[in-house]
Each structure stands twice: as structure tokens, then as C-alpha cells.
Amino acid sequence: MINLLTSNFGAFLTAFGYTVLSSIIALIASLILGTLFAILQIVPSRIARGIARIYVEVFRNIPLLIIVMFFYLVGTRVIALDGFTAGTIGLSLYTSAFIAETVRAGINAVDIGQTEGARANGLSFSQTLRIIVLPQAYKIAIPSLGNQFINLVKNSSILAFVAGGDLMYTANNVAAATFDSFNSYIIVGIFYLIITLPLSYYMKYLEAKTKGLAKEDS
């Protein structure tokens, strides 16, 4: 395993960089889109709610592989998208549907009293949402957003199918060239865990902390 790692270290490291980069870009994009579609789902316009629902349902119910393929093979006819870009776009849209659900649940979990307090105090709907509800909704949603992010990192392995240069793609190529599949996959597995495990433990820690606080509150 050490041999395989050292002889392909450059390749694995570059791949790790691509996986991290794609994940970060997709995280930011999907947070923005997800919040937008979460808000559209609670505004008093039926049309907006309908559009948001369709968006969320479509991207939640189609495999990421197919979404990514679509951008790689079809989207690129509109503007040129290489595998990395097409994969990251697909990843962002797919994840944003889940984040929209998470943020919406966070908004719903904010005590209705917060909204009533703000409205009774004279704040408008959008002021209440922006200044009072959303910040608290994000806070509530942190554990679940964290899990979405972990999923996103894992799902970035889909870039392998469109030659996105990521860890999984590199593992496949190294495995094919060296016939040492076993060790190639173990090595990239460890690379993935370097990102996901600390995150996952941090989420557990936050979860435990908020639970502890909730206890004292009541």
C-alpha cells in the first residue's frame, strides 16, 4: 500500500485537491440555491411555491449520476463544461434540493413565537425572515447541514464518471494501470475519511452540545 501511495503520490494529491475544490464550490452554491428554494417554499405566492416544489422534487428524485451525465453531455452544448465543471454543477443542484428541505425544516422549527414577536414589534415579513428567522433556522439546521455536506463530499465521487479528476477517478485509473484495486481503493478511502470523519465527529459534538443546552433550558 505504501508503495502504491508513494509511486502515485502526486496523482492522489492532485485528485484530493479536485475533490476538496469541487466540494467547497458545490457547498457554497448549494447553500445559496438551497436557501433560495427554501424561502420560495414559504412565501405567500402559490406560483413561487409550486416552482420551488418542482425544483426540489426533480433534483431529489433523479440519481446524481444521471444529472451529472446530463450536464457533461448536453449542458456542454450550451456552454462548454469540462467533467469537473459539469460534475460540480450537477453536485450543486442535486445537493441544493436537499439543503432546501433542510433549511425549510429549520425555518419551521424556529419557534413561531419568534415570528409573532417580530411581527407584533412592527417588522415586515421579509425583515422578520431575514433578521430573526433565518439566522436561527441555520443554527437549528447545522447538524443536518453538516450531514448534507458530508454527503456532498462522498457524492463528489460521481465526478469519476465524467473524468472529473477527483479521488475516485484517480483510484479507478491507478487500479486499472497497476491491477492493484484493493490498495488503490483503500488509499482513496483514507483520503475521503480525512475530510469526512472530522466533520462527522464535529457534527456529533455540536449535536451533543445543543442537546445539553436544551436540557438546561427546560
Ligand X SMILES: Nc1ncnc2c1ncn2[C@@H]1O[C@H](COP(=O)(O)OP(=O)(O)OP(=O)(O)O)[C@@H](O)[C@H]1O
Q: Which three cell numbers stand for residue 149?
A: 455536506
Cell of 123: 417588522
CB atoms < 10 A from the CB of 179, how many?
Answer: 9
> Looking at 15, 40, 91, 158, which residue binds other proteins (CB under 8 A)?
158
Q: State the nearest-atom distance from the C-beta of 198 to other proteins, in Å.
A: 10
For residue 217, give the C-alpha cell: 433550558
| In the block, residue with C-alpha cell 453538516 | 146
Angle between helices 134-155 and 181-217 (to 10 degrees): 160
Segment near other proteins (CB under 8 A); pick from 5-13, 28-36, 45-53, 166-174:
166-174
Q: Half-sphere exposure (CA, 13 Å, Cβ side) for 134?
A: 16
Nearer to ligand X, 114 or 200 (CB): 114
For ligand X, the closer of residues 46 and 215 by Cβ is 215
The 8-class DSSP code of residue 180 comes to: -
Check binding of 112 to ligand X (CB under 6 A).
no
Q: Under rule CB under 6 A, which residues in 157-216 are in contact with ligand X?
A: 215-216
Pick from 51, 53, 127, 206 the residue near other proteins by CB under 8 A: 127
- What minimum distance in Å lies between the beta carbon of 212 and ligand X? 7
